[in-house]
Amino acid sequence: MLKNFLTLTALLCAIAVVDGSEYVHHSISSCSLQYGMPESEEKNATMISEPHKYFPAQIKRIVDAADAISPDAIDLPDNHSYPVIDISPWLNPSMSSDEDREQVVQQVLNEARSSGSFNIIGHGIDDALFNSLYASARNFFSLSMEQKMGYSSGNNRAGYVAYRNESVASVHKSGSSKEQKDLRELFSMSFPPNNDANVLGPPEFHDAMSQYIKRLQVVERAVKQILTIALSSAKDIDLPTTYLKDVEGNETGLLRASRYPSTPGFEDATKLLPHSDFGTITIIASSEEGLEEIREGRWYRVPMGIGELHVNVGETYTMWSNGLFKNNIHRVSKEAKKDRISFPYFTAQGKPTSSNPGISPICSNGEEPVFPRVSLNGHVKHYFSAITGKVES
Ligand SMILES: O=C(O)CCC(=O)C(=O)O
Ligand SMILES: [Fe+2]
């Protein structure tokens, strides 16, 4: 069935590209709700009406249960190694078979619906770019505080953000006194650049970040295409592979270079408290370990190294898939003892305007919606001001 579906979606995409027409969405089951229905009529008795309150409570419940097993993370056992998925069949469809692509979809579906995360290889980004990204970020973070503050915009989405300036704790009401502020400094750059006026970092750093974002766009599109087909297959419905883009608009994203320094006196502090990301998917690169996540109810280390990318599912995708895809719960551990650099790329979708009505959960026939219709921006807004301490428009 999936094989026919893959061929059909390839055909549908080809038609859309040729005639440039908009897709008609009536064949898609949005949990029996039609796009355009007033929000009040979308609610029913079982619906989670305030997702921004639901997710922190859900995360607390799952984290408390995992901590009760052990607050420390372990490695996955040798006979159950960490999922590493080669996505190259989707980046080079002409050089792969339907079976290869179908296998990738099934692997991604298994991980997205269990822990909500997996590593990917075959993404086409070469080590030379990663090397220049890490080297230029290290150079940047080694500048004096005064120099770095020269690259601050006052907006956390653009340019430099100093150490201990943001607070995941403020959303999750969690952590010790040392953990009330995230133990990292950051430099952020958004795509497309005119969404937020980017601050130009030092040229070498700016070039590496810009080139990396361009390559990430390709990877993001492929992973979202795979997830859309996975959703179609699991729900037995026909979604065009470009569904998110068709409904919400082009991909957007925020790349953040993060440095977690080792700070005397803070050895016992979690560097970034447990949370799930707010958006659709996050794509993370790091040459050092330290990222940990909950799988099957307990904490595990996420193996990371140069060349491997980690993908996690965010809360918006959990809502849009009506709970099928799991918002991955993760943290940066106190065990990240080295001076750690990572590059999370938070992907979003479409118009970041308050008038964007968002997407109703995508359901199989007869499935009831659990979440209300949400736009990514509407959901993120609830948290971002708490994390940054700044009012969001
Ligand atoms: O630095 C990392 O590896 C993860 C960062 C993260 O989870 C976040 O910024 O949301
Ligand atoms: Fe995160």
| Residue 337: pLDDT band with limits 50, 70, 90 | confident
Q: Which residues line ligand 1 (CB under 6 A)?
A: 258, 272, 277, 284, 286, 291, 330, 332, 342, 344
**CA 250 – CA 243 distance, rounded (Å):** 11
List the domains of the chain with CATH numbers: 3-23+54-388 (2.60.120.330)
- What the block records as the tokens of 1 is 């069935």
Ligand 1 atom with minimal separation from the 342 CA: 1
- Residue range 220-231: average pLDDT? 96
How many angstroms does the Cα of residue 128 sit away from the middle of ligand 1? 23
pTM of the prediction?
0.90
Neighbour-count burial of 290, counting CB atoms closer than 10 A to its CB (0-12 exposed, 13-18 middle, 19+ buried):
buried
Q: What percent of the chain has pLDDT over 90?
A: 67
How many angstroms does the Cα of residue 276 sit away from the middle of ligand 2? 6
**CA 41 – CA 202 distance, rounded (Å):** 51
**CA 252 – CA 246 distance, rounded (Å):** 14
Ligand 1 atom with minimal separation from the 330 CA: 7
Q: Give the pLDDT confidence score for residue 152 in this predicted structure.
A: 94
Residue 355 clears pLDDT 60, i.e. is over it: yes
Q: Give the pLDDT confidence score for residue 336 in this predicted structure.
A: 75
- Residue range 283-312: average pLDDT? 94
- Residue range 19-30: average pLDDT? 37
Q: Give the pLDDT confidence score for residue 205 in this predicted structure.
A: 97
Angle among Cα 236, 82, 130 to the nearest 5 degrees reads: 100
Say if strands 309-313 and 281-286 run parallel, antiparallel, or are unpaired: antiparallel
Residue 72 clears pLDDT 50, i.e. is over it: yes
Nearest ligand, measured from the Cα of 59? 2
Specify the amino acid at residue 235.
K
Q: What is the pLDDT of residues 94-145, one digit of tens each?
A: 999 999 999 999 999 999 999 999 999 999 999 999 999 999 999 999 999 9
How many angstroms does the Cα of residue 260 sit away from the middle of ligand 2? 14
Q: Phi/psi of residue 187, each to 5°?
A: -135, 125
Residue 298 clears pLDDT 90, i.e. is over it: yes
Q: Give the pLDDT confidence score for residue 183 in this predicted structure.
A: 94
**CA 156 – CA 143 distance, rounded (Å):** 19
Q: How remote is the C-alpha of 351 from its chain's centroid? A: 17
- Determine which residue's CA is closest to atom 10 belonging to ligand 1: 277
How many angstroms does the Cα of residue 187 sit away from the middle of ligand 1? 13
Mean pLDDT of the chain: 87
In this structure, of 6-15, 143-152, 187-196, the range with the lowest mean pLDDT score is 6-15
Residue 204 clears pLDDT 50, i.e. is over it: yes
